[in-house]
Amino acid sequence: MRSRYSAFCTGNLDYLIATHHPSQRSPDERLQLAQTIKSTEWLGLRIVSTHQGLPSDQIGIVEFVAVYRAGQMGQIHERSRFGRHRGGWIYLEGDQLPPLWPKRNQPCWCGSGQKFKQCHGRAK
Q: Which parts of this chain interact with Zn ion (CB under 5 A)? A: 108, 110, 112, 119-120
Pick 94 or 102: Cβ nearer Zn ion: 102
In order of 41, 52, 69, 103, 114, the CA distances from 118 in angstroms are 20, 37, 17, 11, 6
Minimum distance of Zn ion from residue 6's CB (angstroms): 21
Minimum distance of Zn ion from residue 32's CB (angstroms): 27
Q: Among residues 36, 84, 76, 32, which one has the least CA distance to residue 56?
A: 84
Minimum distance of Zn ion from residue 109's CB (angstroms): 7
Pick 40 or 80: Cβ nearer Zn ion: 40
Which SS3 state, helix, strand or coil, does residue 86 take? coil
Pick 77 or 120: Cβ nearer Zn ion: 120
* HSE-up of residue 85 (Cα within 13 Å, Cβ side): 13
